[in-house]
Chains A and B, each alone.
Chain A
Amino acid sequence: MNEQELKNRFQNLRQTAQASKPLTDAIMAGLPEASETGWQAIRQQVLANGYRALTVFAVCLLIGSLLSPVAQGFDSLISFDRLPKLHSLGTFAFHADSDLELPDDESATIPICEILARAVLPLSFHLLAGWFLLMTVGISLPSQVSHEKEISQ
């Protein structure tokens, strides 16, 4: 009897929802346009991700480019003449005419913060920019497809 009552309550809900024209209209109004379904929707998603990734790429590139001259500026400020000059993209380039002196014991150690400031930091921003660009565009398609699959299971 109690179970029957529960069944009836669910049945009432189901029947009234089934007969509801506002519900049908609301569902039909919420459907995407035919042109936006399937692969087109995925393509749009990939494009949107691509634009986002490009923006982040540009910002990272800008930060990296700003940091490179700052790091080069360290050279003149601290008259640090043992290390080779810093390339604008953060890589070291040895100059044939650089007059490298063999450091004595005390000055042989290169402070880690200087290495960071001069090379690793600017370079890492460039690498981060490239990684983000590749990852975002690269993973957007498979992730979208797997999400669809997950929902439909």
Chain B
Amino acid sequence: MQQAERFRSEVQAWQGLVYSVAFGILLNAQDALDITQETFIKAFEEPAFLDEGFNRKSWLVRVARNLALNTRRSLMRKLRSLMQVAGLFPQATEESVEEQIVRAEDRQELKAVLENLGPEERELVTLRYAAELSYEEIAAELNIKLGTVMSRLARVKAKIGMALEEENNS
């Protein structure tokens, strides 16, 4: 019982991070909710998760990112997107659970910027600004050189700057 309470407080502490990482990669509220739930199920099943010295942030970011990447690649998701475009699959309504979780404006603002980026650039931006990882941590996470992280981020920032200016002008 006490463990459940402890886990709940950890969920409250980290759910924002996990949700924003998942949303940053997938740009879909329903998928982000699913990934957040799945990540915390994995955390619940991880025996060391509540241990004192356990690096929860790093673990959660890694699991959420892996799950989001798997979802992005999944055939079912592509099929669902295709069906939504064709009008065969219902779009999420304003009353749905994911709408109650995060204000639509917060998501839309971010989506407007991130959808101009490629999947890898989005992942980079998400790790930097949603997970707030350092350049070194990003390099370790993506298994690339520090210099590559810096140059890619500089390119992405330039691209985003252009997107933001365009958005502000319109």
How far in angstroms is the closest Cβ of chain A from B17?
A: 6
Q: Is the CB of B103 within 8 A of A9?
A: no
How far in angstroms is the closest Cβ of chain A from B14?
A: 8
Q: Is the CB of B20 within 8 A of A10?
A: yes
Q: Does A17 contact B (CB under 8 A)?
A: yes
Contacts of A19 in B (CB 8 A): 16
Q: Is the CB of A17 within 8 A of B20?
A: yes
How far in angstroms is the closest Cβ of chain A from B153?
A: 10
Q: Is the CB of A15 within 8 A of B110?
A: no
Q: Tell me which of A29-37, A62-70, A95-103, A104-112 binds B.
A: A29-37
> 1/0 contact trace for B94-114 toward A, CB 8 Å?
000100111100110110010
Specify which of B67, B113, B165 is in contact with A9 (CB 8 Å cutoff): B113
Say yes or no: A151-B63 contact (C-beta < 8 A), given A6-B160, A20-B100, A31-B40. yes
Contacts of B66 in A (CB 8 A): 151, 153
Q: Is the CB of B59 within 8 A of A152?
A: yes
CA distance A119 to B54 in the complex (A): 60
**Interface of A toward B, CB cutoff 8 Å:** 2-3, 5-7, 9-10, 12-20, 22-24, 26-28, 30-32, 37-38, 41, 148, 151-153
Most buried by B among A6, A10, A26: A10
A-B contact pairs, 18 of them (CB 8 A): A2-B164, A2-B165, A3-B161, A9-B110, A12-B109, A13-B19, A13-B20, A16-B101, A16-B102, A17-B16, A18-B16, A22-B100, A23-B102, A26-B37, A26-B101, A27-B40, A31-B40, A153-B62
CA distance A32 to B42 in the complex (A): 10
